[in-house]
Structure 1
Amino acid sequence: MADDYGGILGAFPYAFRRSDSLLFRSYVLVAGLATLLLALTCVLAIVVVFGQTAGARGGSFTLSRSFIALLGLLAVLPIVGPVLLAARTRRRGGRLSKSYDPPANYEPLLAVGGYLFLLSLYLGLIASMPETFVLDGETVTRPEPSGLFAPVLAALYALPAAASPILPLTAAAVILLIHRRLR
């Protein structure tokens, strides 16, 4: 089939071409860029960890390398998820009938879920920031909440660092819920 896609990379242009929703099309572009940036960040983080642990033998150092790769994968999957789900829904529906269109609000709601996940990643990073940390040999204190979003920042700072993954996990669950309800 000429309009089919071949794998994850082909799903992005396929979903972009087939969607009628401008919001979803914008998410396809943003998700592609966010995935590239996140993948680059993870690769650079792994290179740094390899450099810091080059002379060390296996054990916990190998685990830290694998953990960075796992975190990157767990962050990328919900970012590309809405694009893959929409492309798959359109492709599979197209096999059943020539003119399959998912419900009108399916792709826009997937885009909202995707944007919500990207926001939740950022908020989760803020929530996980310790009060003080060492950066290049200097002790740095996180900035005090100020401005329009001071109450939001204060609430995020008040969350225990161990609870910060709850934000992205909840947003990823929203994407799955949207898909299950509307496909």
Structure 2
Amino acid sequence: MADGYRGVIGAFPYALRNGDSLFFRLYVVVGTLVALFLGGLFALSIVVQIGNTASAPGGSLTLSRTFVAVVGLFVAGPLLAPTLLVARKHRKGLAYHPRYDTIMAATGFAFMLSIYLAAIISVPDSLRSGPPSGALAPLLSLLYALPRISALVPPTGMLGAMAAIHYLLSR
């Protein structure tokens, strides 16, 4: 444990040093940067939300501020989970599945993709640049046609898959 880490911040360099695969090490860098970027966006959105509701009395408007923060945690948390789980595995010397690091990195990248799909599904009509074109036009048309509430499905499904995969591989 002398080689271990102290706290959450130290887990990232520790996971980068001790990861079993280059794919996982790539995920540590990319996943951390994406989580920091999205965390910054959600922090700025909280500031904007406070500015928009500053003159209003408490009640449901303060709830909307809190909701933005909770959504930010639900987006950034699963991006950091694979790194933290693998760091914990190596620090404690746990004997998990031999490809655990690589598989957890793959689930992290899949969660990033699910966030992107959710963002595409939830884009309002007024912000779309016109009808989709190119090779992905049929897929984009399908995603745009879905109701906005269905944007919750990809990240929620992937979050459940991440938890199930971790559970199965750590037994």
Which category describes the TM-score, using the shorter chain as reference length?
over 0.9
Q: How high is the TM-score relative to the length of structure 1?
A: 0.87
The within-5 A match list for 1:43-62 is: 43-62=43-62
Matched residue of 2:135: which SS? coil
Does residue 173 (structure 1) correspond to residue 165 (structure 2)? The answer is: no
The 8 Å contact of residues 126 and 157 in structure 1, kept in 2 or not, is answered as yes
Once residues 6 and 145 of structure 2 are traced to their aligned partners in structure 1, the CA distance between those partners, rounded to angstroms, is 45
Cα offset, 1:56, TM superposition:
1.3
Moved more, 142-151 or 45-54: 142-151
Does residue 161 (structure 1) correspond to residue 148 (structure 2)? The answer is: yes
The 8 Å contact of residues 4 and 91 in structure 1, kept in 2 or not, is answered as yes
Once residues 39 and 74 of structure 1 are traced to their aligned partners in structure 2, the CA distance between those partners, rounded to angstroms, is 10
Q: How high is the TM-score relative to the length of structure 2?
A: 0.93
RMSD over aligned CA atoms reads 1.4
Q: Gapped runs of 5+ residues in structure 2?
A: none
Once residues 143 and 109 of structure 1 are traced to their aligned partners in structure 2, the CA distance between those partners, rounded to angstroms, is 38
Cα offset, 1:101, TM superposition:
5.2
Q: Gapped runs of 5+ residues in structure 1?
A: 95-99, 133-139
In structure 2, which of residues 113, 123, 128 is the aligned counterpart of residue 129 of structure 1?
123
**Given residue 23 of structure 1, which amino acid in structure 2 is its aligned partner?**
F
Q: CA offsets per residue over residues 84-111 of structure 1, 9 Å max, x none?
A: 111112222x2xxxxx553331111111
Aligned residues: 170
Q: CA offsets per residue over residues 136-157 of structure 1, 9 Å max, x none?
A: xxxx555311111111111111
The 8 Å contact of residues 90 and 102 in structure 1, kept in 2 or not, is answered as no
Matched residue of 1:165: which SS? helix
Once residues 108 and 143 of structure 1 are traced to their aligned partners in structure 2, the CA distance between those partners, rounded to angstroms, is 39
Identify the structure with the greater strand proportion.
1
Identify the structure with the greater helix proportion.
2
The residue that corresponds to 1:136 in the other structure is none
Once residues 124 and 46 of structure 2 are traced to their aligned partners in structure 1, the CA distance between those partners, rounded to angstroms, is 22
The within-5 A match list for 1:16-165 is: 16-92=16-92, 94=93, 102-132=96-126, 140-165=127-152
Runs of 4+ deviating beyond 3 Å: none
